[in-house]
Structure formats: C-alpha cells, structure tokens
A and B are shown apart, each in its own frame.
Chain A
C-alpha cells in the first residue's frame, strides 16, 4: 500500500507571497492532519480534516487554511508569508480521527 505523499517537497518563497501544499493520504484513510515543525517549537498541530470537514484547528493565525476533497486528498494554504513561516510542513493520515497517524515526507518551506 502506498504511503502518504506530499508535494512539493521543497519550496522557496518570498515574504508576502502565498503557497499551497498538497497531501495525498494512504488509500482508505479519511483523516488528514497537518503539522508545522521547526527546531525551536517541535511539532505543532495546524488542523485536521475528516470527510471534507475541519474538525480541529491549532493556534495558528487565519493566514493558515486548508481543505479536504472527496477523495480525502488535502491541501493547506498559507497567505501573506512571513519569515517565521519557514518550516517543515508535515501531513499525516489515519483511518479515523484519533487512530495511529502515518506521516508523509513533508514539504520544506523557506521564506526569504
């Protein structure tokens, strides 16, 4: 069974731009969670989607948004990028909310 895939793997943007990251979960998994990982803050929860509905949201500004499609694929968007948004963005999927999560390889975003 194929694992979680994320695209793109690397991104370089400048301040003020926006970015869209994509995540395809493991087949049959309906829950997709997004995390931001930085050296100083560890893994920070962004949001979780289940059956196209956002069920939970972490403490991030409204510039961070996401959505999930009917095939469970998910996207997250960051608008008006700031230098502090430079991080590894990880997507994780699970069959149901609260089950064991399986991570994709991540998208490394650098904001200049």
Chain B
C-alpha cells in the first residue's frame, strides 16, 4: 500500500499558486519525498524531491514539515497545462504510487 495520503481532487484558478498537500506520517529516516505528475495517458513526469530541507526548482517548490510527516508541493503560478494527476511518494528505490490528487486549473 502507498505510504501517502492526498486529497483526491483540487481546483486552482489560472495564475494563482496551487498548493498540494500530502501526509506521510510513517516516513522513515532515510526515505525521500518525491512528487510526480501524470498528464492523461502519458508517463509520469518527475517534479521535485527532498529529504528534510525545502527545495525549489524551475517547476515547483517543496515544503517539508520539520517532523517530516507531511509536505506541500507549490506550483507558484498555475497554468492550464498544469492540469494533471499529482503523486506524492515516499521511499528509497521502490516507488509505491497512490491515487494522487487530480488538479484542475481553471481559466
């Protein structure tokens, strides 16, 4: 079973920040938090990952709580092309995918 819990769906207005939460209360000390997204019928696309510290790249920011039991993926200025299913995964080499959050960006 997946070790993460995510809301099944979210809406976000175009141009606004999309904040996607993830709970991973049973995360182990050596497990990373990864985020991927999947646009309909394509392979998942890597977004970002982190261990303890907050991370930022050209796509998104990842905020991990100090106790590492939850995290938030932030898309700073959502566009229509960000509409996808977003997966939060914790692990080392073996990824167990959950059902993710279906993000819909609205014009």
Q: Do A and B come from one complex?
A: no
